[in-house]
């Protein structure tokens, strides 16, 4: 940073301290107002921090009226007394201004690095934009924690399930941490699920490094690949299931899938339990697509394809008399 740039920064810091203490003159206030136009968010943060620190309750440290009244009253005592009073006032002002800037800087640091936690309830999905422009889509019954502003690192903690769309920054890798897995990326889109029985990562685009925190073994995944913990070991697999993001896209797609797999997908998506009679040919193949469809709507279409009977009772679905056509 150049010397001029440092001087400009110091000048605006000094003027902001005077501004918050209501000590600026007309010319200085114009300079501050011009700065505010270009930095509205930073000014708002500083103003909030100033109020929170209660510095404004000690305005006697910056009372120019009282200081100059005192100086004026000493004019008759001689020039030396006046100069002395001015020096005392100036020194006191700058010491107070410096203290205020230290408080503001410390408070701003703690504010910007303070963690933010977002959680969801049943049937609730939230979209989150992080300070670097990365996007997080948080699935139901999940929780994510992250710094309000990323400084040197981009570290995220996740419980549950979330889909990440990460802005590329070669200097600052993006790290998602769950209880069992550590996911490290530069810029990509991927799904992380921290389920206790089988946590997994699915990659939609880019490249992701996944590490087992317990054993330190790791895998590198590319688009179309996933990895999960099975019996404590990381295992890589190709993503054949098109519906792992159905909760986000609200779309279900099946391409020559066995009916048994379709029922499993419907159970997970609609949070129901599907039971069938044991003589049904569940190897029937399904090729179809649904968008924003209700469970009733899906079952009606599948009934047209396979002629079965179904009954929905609460979160229980019973199906019988399936016929492959």
Which range of 52-66, 96-110, 119-133, 271-285 scores highest in mean pLDDT? It is 119-133
Asked if 288 and 266 count as a contact pair (C-beta separation under 8 A), the reply is no
CATH number of 246-320: 3.55.50.30
Contacts by residues 256-260 (CB-CB < 8 Å, ≥ 24 positions apart): 256/285, 256/286, 256/287, 257/285, 257/286, 257/287, 258/282, 258/283, 258/284, 258/285, 258/286, 259/283, 259/284, 259/285, 259/286, 259/302, 259/306, 259/322
Would the pLDDT of 157 be above 90? Answer: yes
What residues contact residue 67 under an 8 Å CB cut-off, 6+ apart?
85, 89, 92, 93
User: In terms of pLDDT, which residue wins out, 72 or 200?
Assistant: 200
Question: Given 3.30.200.20, 3.40.50.620, 3.40.50.150, 2.60.120.1440, which CATH number is that of 115-238?
Answer: 2.60.120.1440
Pair of tokens at residue 305: 């394809």
User: In terms of pLDDT, which residue wins out, 281 or 289?
Assistant: 289
Strands 316-320 and 273-276: parallel
Claim: this prediction has a pTM higher than 0.85? no
List the end-to-end C-alpha distance of the chain, in Å, as a whole number: 74
Residue 97's pLDDT band (boundaries 50, 70, 90)? low
Look at residue 108 in the predicted model and tell me its pLDDT: 61
**Taking all residues of the chain, what is their mean pLDDT, rounded to a whole number?**
82
Provide the percentage of residues in the chain whose pLDDT is more than 70. 75
Would the pLDDT of 26 be above 50? Answer: yes
Q: Helix count (H) and strand count (E) of the chain?
A: 8, 19
Query: Would you say the CATH fold of 246-320 matches that of 115-238?
Result: no
Indicate the domain borders of the chain.
3-113, 115-238, 246-320
Of 39, 45, 43, the C-alpha closest to 16 is 43
Instruction: Give CA angle at 240 (237, 243), nearest 5°.
Output: 120
**Lowest mean pLDDT: which of 41-55, 234-248, 292-306?**
41-55
User: In terms of pLDDT, which residue wins out, 51 or 266?
Assistant: 266
């Amino acid at each position: 940073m150049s010397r001029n740039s440092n001087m400009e920064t110091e000048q605006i810091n000094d003027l902001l301290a005077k501004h918050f203490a209501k000590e600026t003159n007309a010319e200085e206030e114009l300079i501050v107002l011009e700065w505010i136009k270009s930095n509205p968010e930073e000014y708002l943060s500083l103003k909030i921090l100033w109020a929170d620190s209660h510095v404004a309750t000690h305005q006697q440290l910056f009372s120019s009226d009282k200081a100059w009244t005192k100086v004026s009253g000493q004019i008759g005592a001689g020039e030396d007394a006046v100069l002395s009073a001015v020096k005392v006032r100036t020194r006191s002002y700058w010491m107070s201004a410096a203290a205020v800037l230290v408080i503001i800087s410390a408070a701003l640091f703690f504010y910007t690095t303070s963690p933010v936690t977002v959680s969801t309830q049943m049937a609730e999905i939230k979209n989150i934009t992080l300070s670097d422009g990365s996007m997080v889509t948080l699935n139901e019954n999940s929780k994510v924690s992250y710094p309000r502003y990323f400084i040197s690192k981009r570290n995220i903690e996740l419980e549950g399930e979330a889909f990440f769309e990460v802005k590329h920054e070669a200097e600052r890798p993006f790290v998602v941490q769950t209880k069992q897995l550590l996911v490290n990326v530069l810029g990509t889109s991927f799904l992380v699920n921290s389920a206790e029985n089988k946590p997994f990562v699915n990659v939609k685009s880019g490249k992701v490094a996944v590490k087992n925190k317990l054993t330190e073994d790791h895998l590198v995944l590319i688009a179309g690949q996933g990895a999960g913990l099975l019996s404590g070991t990381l295992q890589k697999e190709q993503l054949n299931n098109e519906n792992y993001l159905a909760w986000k896209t609200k779309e279900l797609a099946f391409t020559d899938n066995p009916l048994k797999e379709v029922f499993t997908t419907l159970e997970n998506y609609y949070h129901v339990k599907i039971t069938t009679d044991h003589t049904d040919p569940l190897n029937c193949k399904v090729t179809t697509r649904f968008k924003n469809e209700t469970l009733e709507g899906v079952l009606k279409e599948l009934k047209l394809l396979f002629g079965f009977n179904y009954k929905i009772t609460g979160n229980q679905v019973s199906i019988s008399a399936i016929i492959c056509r």
